[in-house]
Amino acid sequence: MKYSGSIENALTGRTVAEKILGRAGDSPEARAGDVLEVEPDLVMSHENTFLVSKTLEELEVSRPWDPEKVVVVLDHRSPANSVQTATVHSRIRDLVRRTGISRFYDVGEGICHQLLVEQKLARPGQLVLGSDSHTTTVGAVGAFGAGIGATDMAGVWATGRTWLKVPETIRVTMSGHLQRAVFPKDVALHLVSKLGPSGADYMCLEFGGIFLFDISISGRMVLCNMAAEMGAKAAIAPADSTFGAWSPECSPQDGNSCVSDEDAQFSNTIELVAEDIPPMVAGPHRVEAGRSADGFADTHVDQAFIGSCTNGRLEDLIAASWVLKGNKVAPDCRLLVAPASRSVLSDALDMGVIQTIQVAGGIILPPGCGPCLGAHEGVLGPGEVCISSSNRNFRGRMGSDEAEIYLASPATVAASAVEGRIADPRRWLNIDL
């Protein structure tokens, strides 16, 4: 079923967002602006599964329309930080047992967005809906991932369908190669500083250009994750040869469905030059308030955090270990590190990365969201300053609304922890990355 508000020429090419939502809505010619009734390929919720289940009870629905398409992850307050959270966790465990949801990830398995990609649950060309705004992260593997509310998710559980408007697409291309000590997080912060918090409001960011071949799936996850901070409904990187090498068994059957046509219509095209981007730091209080890291030289840091769905992956911990090896965290600073999943933690242990972080004075937290949302494991007090590899630095995000949060790459966070003040990682990384 479709309500069309589009007047696009049917002879022009289609964007990948139009293709994916058109398939999910059984409307092969869907265009930006069309409102479609779609059936998602995969849905995900975390602790707010409890809210989803309460609405289902009000609807007198006992189980999801298709338990095999449902993923539930306990990650935001993991392990439980209160009796109330422990009760919610217990009820969610009971729910997944009763309803036959097999894709359930309990405390310690990792962050929902990480697991959707790492466990290869999200695949190219799929429509993935999650009751979390950073579901955009799955765009790293060529899927259309969008966040919806818990009430909307209950409707999907009950019927297997929902309404979505096909978004317009902003094409972001980048030429050149990243400088030493510059990472995908720096690219994301640079882009946010250009677009602002609503520059991509209800649009799809589509990444392209030779630059993509320089970064891994993990790096693409950073870009797609941070798209939410620009207001984007979704973000997509192509399922190209990089994806094929990472997951040959998950390559799309129809590669054309995961790539925009050459004559597709974009609402805007943004061209970036990789060499122009320095190590970035954003904040406090505004994600878009980003500038070169060397402009914060005298900013004292009380806490440094590496982790979250943005930058808690293996390559992030490795980058931090390059800085930390042979160095110590400053006496008046604490460094907290939360791997994005159990698998990341295990691999980092095998490689000696965790040991390097601990010897330097870092504190290893369980896999999960950790301090990012200000619920536990590193809550900030009044007047404290934190530099974080997470995605948001709104006032009160990580604790006290009198604290200040700066955002940066894991390498910049690690360098800042060593110096006890915001630091330029180029002083600490003298190797070609």
Amino acid 202 reads Y
> Are 294 and 417 found together in one domain?
yes
Q: What is the pLDDT of residues 140-174, one digit of tens each?
A: 999 999 999 999 999 999 999 999 999 999 999 99
Overall average pLDDT of the 355-376 stretch: 96
The mean of the pLDDT values for the chain is 93
End-of-domain residue from the set 236, 253, 276: 276
CATH number at residue 201: 3.30.499.10
> Are 397 and 415 found together in one domain?
yes
Q: What is the structure's pLDDT at 188? A: 98
> Are 247 and 188 found together in one domain?
yes
Range of 410's domain?
282-427
Q: What is the structure's pLDDT at 1? A: 53
Amino acid 207 reads F
**Encoding tokens for residue 197?**
């918090």
> Are 291 and 258 found together in one domain?
no
Total domains in the chain come to 3
> Are 314 and 415 found together in one domain?
yes
Residue 7's pLDDT band (cuts 50, 70, 90): very low
Q: What is the structure's pLDDT at 8? A: 45
> Are 158 and 254 found together in one domain?
no
Report if residue 270 sits inside a domain. Answer: yes
Q: At what angle do helices 217-226 and 184-195 cross, to 10 degrees?
A: 20
> Are 137 and 159 found together in one domain?
yes
Is the distance from CB of 146 to CB of 124 less than 8 angstroms? no
> Are 214 and 287 found together in one domain?
no
End-of-domain residue from the set 276, 306, 341: 276
Q: What is the pLDDT of residues 297-307, one digit of tens each?
A: 889 999 999 99
> Are 311 and 414 found together in one domain?
yes
Residue 433's pLDDT band (cuts 50, 70, 90): very low
State how far the alpha carbon of 20 is from the alpha carbons of 107, 257, 411, in Å: 32, 7, 36
Residue with structure tokens 């200000």? Answer: 374
Q: What is the pLDDT of residues 239-276, one digit of tens each?
A: 888 888 888 877 665 555 678 999 999 999 999 999 99
> Are 295 and 258 found together in one domain?
no
End-of-domain residue from the set 276, 305, 321: 276
Report if residue 14 sits inside a domain. Answer: no
Q: H or E stretch including 274? A: none
Overall average pLDDT of the 222-238 stretch: 97
> Are 262 and 299 found together in one domain?
no
**Encoding tokens for residue 252?**
């799309």
Between β-strands 42-45 and 35-38, what pairing exists: parallel, antiparallel or unpaired? unpaired
